[in-house]
Amino acid sequence: MAMFIRVDVDQAVIRKTPGLAAKLAESCPVKIFKAAGDGVDLVEDALDECTLCDLCMQASPEGVKVVKLYEG
């Protein structure tokens, strides 16, 4: 379980946009997303590597939300 970051994904939003799962997988510099048949999988081990770069939320403002689990 990640300590610092939670990534909420709305799989329905991802599914209805062709190519979005692959785009998320490509856009994340630390490879948190993996395209799967029915949306994206999250690579749990990579979650705490998140740099809060925002690229995933730019790729899908409605489908992805990165939540900081700490203050600072």
Please give the helix or strand (H or E) that residue 30 lies within, else none: none
Binding residues for ligand SF4, rule CB under 6 A, total: 14
Nearer to ligand SF4 among residue 36 and residue 53 (C-beta): 53
CB of 60 to ligand SF4, least distance (A): 10
- Restricted to residues 12-71, the positions that interact with ligand SF4 (CB under 6 A) are 27-30, 32, 50-56, 66
CB of 7 to ligand SF4, least distance (A): 6
CA 18 from centre of chain:
16
Amino acid at 60: S
Instruction: Kindly provide the residue ranges of all beta strands, DSSP E only, lying in the chain, ordered along the sequence.
Output: 5-9, 33-36, 39-42, 64-68
Residues at the site binding ligand SF4, with contacts judged by CB under 6 A: 7, 27-30, 32, 50-56, 66
